[in-house]
Structure 1
Amino acid sequence: MAAFKPDGYPALSPYVILHDPEATLAFAGAVFDGARLRRIEDETGRIRHAEIRVGEVVLMIGGALADWPAQDAHLHLYVPDVDATYARALELGAQAVQAPEQKDDADRRGGFRDPGGLTWWVATQVDPH
């Protein structure tokens, strides 16, 4: 029986439509050690579809078009050190949304918007009880 999905891909992947997919790909590569996978361009070199692996997830990104406009999107990612990740993201051009803090649950969490237009929420579990 033929495989129903590519090797190493999860059955479910988030898909976002962005104004600047290249900026998000570069950012995710630098901040999260993302590994670029596939990239499909149109005849002008603009990204139609691209994929990057971040942890065990494959993030799929489309470039905005008139009939496929960019949309606000948020992703949540657990990281080993939320404060270090947040600081690195800001150093690489992200816009602060919320500085890391612990609120009503076991996670210390913060958020930022990357240069390509994607909002990332990053967290580290600090109190598992």
Structure 2
Amino acid sequence: MHKPQGYPDVSAYLIVPDAAAVLDFCAAAFNADRLRVIARDGGGILHAECRIGDSVVMMGEMPDGPDAHLHLYLADAEAAFDRAVAAGAEIVQPMQSQDDGDLRGGVRDTSGTTWWIARQEEA
């Protein structure tokens, strides 16, 4: 098999300053399941993965990594948004109806990743 069982063909890969903090945030905000965590010789995390719904988010550590943005469609986007804020995220955009038919808001976690949390609104 060309990939681990249950993994999608495409996964987001984040470069973050603190992968452990991002894993904890994902668990608290999005009920993510931690998958693999590979430690770096001398401390820190070389590579880590978590599952959010049917997707896998991968990450590695770099102190000054680039800004990253992820978009999530979740059945209870409002609750996930509230959990993200409770887990320490800064509100970038409050949850609001968008022209594309989504209810969407954005939060930035303590590692600098922006998470756009959305669901389709009823027609």
Q: Shorter chain as normaliser: what TM range?
A: over 0.9
Q: Which residue of 2 aligns with 1:24?
A: 22
Q: Is the 8 A contact 1:20 1:117 kept in 2?
A: no
SS in 1 for 2:22: helix
Give the Å deviation of 1:45. Answer: 2.4
How far has the Cα of 1:83 moved from its partner?
A: 2.2
1:88 CA drift (Å):
1.5
The list of structure 1 runs, each at least 4 consecutive aligned residues, that deviate by more than 6 angstroms after superposition, is none
In the alignment, the residues of structure 2 paired with residue 29 and residue 84 of structure 1 have an alpha-carbon distance, to the nearest angstrom, of 14
Q: Is the 8 A contact 1:31 1:85 kept in 2?
A: yes
Unpaired runs of at least 5, structure 1? none
CA contact (8 A) 1:22 1:116 kept: no
Count, aligned residues: 123
- Residue 122 of structure 2 aligns with an amino acid whose one-letter code is D
* Residue 121 of structure 1, aligned match among 93, 108, 116: 116
1:116 CA drift (Å): 2.2
8 Å contact from structure 1 (residues 107, 127) kept in 2:
no
Matches within 5 A, 1:43-58: 43-58=41-56
SS in structure 1 of the partner of residue 85 of structure 2: helix
- Structure 1 residue 84, shift from structure 2 partner: 2.0
Is the contact between residue 22 and residue 47 of structure 1 (CA under 8 Å) also seen in structure 2? yes
Which structure 2 segments of 5+ residues have no match?
none
Instruction: For 1:79, give the aligned amino acid.
Output: L
Is the counterpart of residue 101 in structure 1 residue 96 in structure 2?
yes
Q: For 1:7 and 1:83, how far apart are their aligned partners in 2?
A: 31
Q: Kindly, what percent of the aligned residue pairs are identical?
A: 46
Kindly state the Cα deviation for residue 95 of structure 1 after the two structures are TM-superposed: 0.7
How far residue 30 of structure 1 moved from its aligned partner, in angstroms, is 1.2
RMSD: 1.2
Letter in 1 for 2:95: P
